Amino acid sequence: MLRKVIPVLVVCSLLVLLIVPGCGGEEGNVIKIGVIGPMQYVQGEHHWYGATMAAEEINDAGGIDVDGEMYTIELIKADSNEMTSPTDAAAAMEKLITVDGAQFVVGGFRTESVFPMIEVAMDEETIFLGCGAATESLCQLAVDDYDRYKYWFRVTPFNSTKLVSNSLMTLGMAGAIMQQGLGLEGPMTVAILAEQAEWADGMVAAYQAYVPAMLGMEVVGTWRPSATATDLNAELTAIEDSGAHLILTILSGPVGIPYARQLGELEIPCASVGINVEAQKDGFWDATEGHGNYETTLNTYAEGVALTSKTVAFIEEFQDRYDQTPTYNAGTYDAIYLLKEVIESTGTMDTDTLITALEEIDYVGAGARIVFMGTDTTTPHDVTYGPGYSTGLATQWQDGEMKAVWPNLGVGEWEGVTYEGVVMWQIPDRVIAYYTQD
């Protein structure tokens, strides 16, 4: 009996799946915006959360005014499955635009998948506001063929080459504070600890060249543990033996947890700054059982830090709703507001008119003041980086709280650049104890 019933059930469920997508309600004045991302991961989840927050706020306030007529926003969620399959991501994008009728798209994360997603959006002449992939080359497409790739803009994050700049400035700040606070003489010494990943290779090379050249510090060695390593005893002992004052990290994988825990447990007399994605997460303190104290990492948002006049309210609302601190992927919030801004200012939904408006926009979002790079630059439509624009943050764990510590104490064009809520970077107790002992 079961042998006959199961195939029938399967066929019936397939028929239902065929019919369901065709069912739809009546449509009024609606602007359809697709939100695409890896929805099974935190990145896609935050794409959706950010966009939902913006859409609900806008709809509650009456919607978008298009030349005197009010439109409400309808979000369409698309799971790109882009971590696993770029093929799937491209199909999801095409369905979003051609079948579900998205007039604009926000989101995207993994570069290898975002490339084909951009191709689909460009084929369909649909504005695609990127909120995840940081690769510089995505914005270089328009240099060779502007007419085809003019529909692509990157709202967040700033491109990956700028991560090196921010890391170096944070390192410089920490080094200066340590020299002054501990009375250290001579050049500061730095150990580079980077996970074994292709994205880190270029950064390692840049650090090896720029740390001595720009900061006058000495690189004592480079260690490359696996991104999933669970024991860094050997690396940390070797770093301690090298006499490094600072460890410059490039860690995105789960290795960030055992690294920070063992750094504290073994009382390695080095301060740690750089990129440690695990330290950006709310659960980092518990995961390291408090040994991750003083871990410093580049970040996007921090509680109570006003990157712009809208940041604090955005983070509080996000935390209230979702009980999480937003990641940069929640920049879809700003992307939706950008669309509202240009649609209302032009009074039209004509794509070319909106592109011109986006190219000229100067908008203060929750994450940064957003101005797109000009068409005469090497990265057209990329979000502008630097003081007064998108800068990012560095955060440090200080006694169980994630505090913003950079931008602060900058030099050159960064002199005086900081935000309300940024506190002073702290030298770890173990480092103070080591250098002040008799």
Partner 1 sequence: MLRRLLKDFQGDVLAIPGRLLALIFFVILFFIPLFLQGSSGSYYLRIFIFANMYVIFAVSWDLLSGYTGQLNFGHALFFGVAAYTTALLNLHLDWQPWLTIPLGALAGVIAGLVVCLPALRLRGPYLALVTLAFPLILLGIVFAFTDFTGGELGISGLDRISNSRTTDYYISVAVMIVSVMIMWKLTDARSSLVRTGIVFHAIREDEIAARASGINTIRYKLLAFAVAGFFAGIAGAFHAHFMRIAGPSNLELTLSFQVIIWTVFGGITSIYGPVVGVYILFPLMELLRVVPEVRNLIFAGIVVAMLLFMPEGIAVWVRDKIERECPRCKLSNMAFRKTCRACDTPLYERAVD
User: Which candidate, 395, 402, 426, 155, places its Cα nearest to that of 298?
Assistant: 395
Question: Does 32 interact with partner 1 (rule: CB under 8 A)?
Answer: no
| Of 30, 66, 91, 427, the one binding partner 1 by CB under 8 A | 91
- Contact yes or no for 54/104 (Cβ under 8 A): no
Which strand (E) or helix (H) includes residue 174? helix 161-182
**Minimum distance of partner 1 from residue 200's CB (angstroms):** 11
Question: Does 398 interact with partner 1 (rule: CB under 8 A)?
Answer: no
CB neighbours (10 Å) of residue 8?
Answer: 9
Question: Does 116 interact with partner 1 (rule: CB under 8 A)?
Answer: yes
Question: Does 6 interact with partner 1 (rule: CB under 8 A)?
Answer: yes
d(CA 78, CA 93): 8
Query: How many amino acids of this chain bind partner 1 (CB under 8 A)?
Result: 42
Find the part of the chain contacting partner 1 (CB under 8 A) among 4-12, 24-32, 279-287, 360-368: 4-12
d(CA 350, CA 352): 6
**Minimum distance of partner 1 from residue 135's CB (angstroms):** 6
Nearer to partner 1, 379 or 418 (CB): 379
**Minimum distance of partner 1 from residue 282's CB (angstroms):** 23
**Minimum distance of partner 1 from residue 213's CB (angstroms):** 23
Nearer to partner 1, 14 or 411 (CB): 14
Instruction: Write phi, then psi, for 74 (nearest 5 degrees).
Output: -115, 120
d(CA 152, CA 246): 40
The pair of three-digit structure tokens given for residue 62, joined into one six-digit string: 């009456």
d(CA 369, CA 306): 12
| Of 30, 41, 77, 344, the one binding partner 1 by CB under 8 A | 77
Give bridge partners of residue 190 from the DSSP assignment.
219, 246
Nearer to partner 1, 79 or 317 (CB): 79
In a 10 Å sphere around its CB, with 0-12 CB exposed, 13-18 middle and 19+ buried, how is residue 197 labelled? middle
Question: Does 399 interact with partner 1 (rule: CB under 8 A)?
Answer: no
d(CA 360, CA 374): 9
| Of 53, 92, 155, 215, the one binding partner 1 by CB under 8 A | 92
User: Which candidate, 135, 123, 65, places its Cα nearest to that of 98?
Assistant: 123
**Minimum distance of partner 1 from residue 117's CB (angstroms):** 10
Nearer to partner 1, 85 or 348 (CB): 85
User: Which candidate, 166, 116, 124, 150, places its Cα nearest to that of 328?
Assistant: 166
User: Which candidate, 75, 97, 77, 93, places its Cα nearest to that of 85?
Assistant: 93
| Of 1, 2, 61, 213, the one binding partner 1 by CB under 8 A | 2
**Minimum distance of partner 1 from residue 152's CB (angstroms):** 13
Show contacts with partner 1 in window 129-148 (CB under 8 A).
135, 137, 141
d(CA 405, CA 170): 9
Question: Does 95 interact with partner 1 (rule: CB under 8 A)?
Answer: yes
| Of 12, 42, 70, 99, the one binding partner 1 by CB under 8 A | 99
Question: Does 14 interact with partner 1 (rule: CB under 8 A)?
Answer: yes
Show contacts with partner 1 in window 176-205 (CB under 8 A).
198-199, 201
Instruction: Write phi, then psi, for 368 (nearest 5 degrees).
Output: -175, 170
Find the part of the chain contacting partner 1 (CB under 8 A) among 16-24, 340-348, 420-428, 430-438: 16-24
**Minimum distance of partner 1 from residue 96's CB (angstroms):** 9
**Minimum distance of partner 1 from residue 6's CB (angstroms):** 5
386-424 CB burial, b ≥16 within 10 A, e <16: eeeebbbbbbbbbeeebbbbbbbbbeeebeebbbebbbe
**Minimum distance of partner 1 from residue 142's CB (angstroms):** 12
Question: Does 271 interact with partner 1 (rule: CB under 8 A)?
Answer: no
Question: Does 8 interact with partner 1 (rule: CB under 8 A)?
Answer: no
CB neighbours (10 Å) of residue 123?
Answer: 14
Interacting residues toward partner 1 by CB under 8 A = 2-3, 6-7, 10, 13-14, 17-18, 20-21, 39, 77-79, 84-88, 90-92, 94-95, 97-99, 111-113, 115-116, 119, 123-124, 135, 137, 141, 198-199, 201
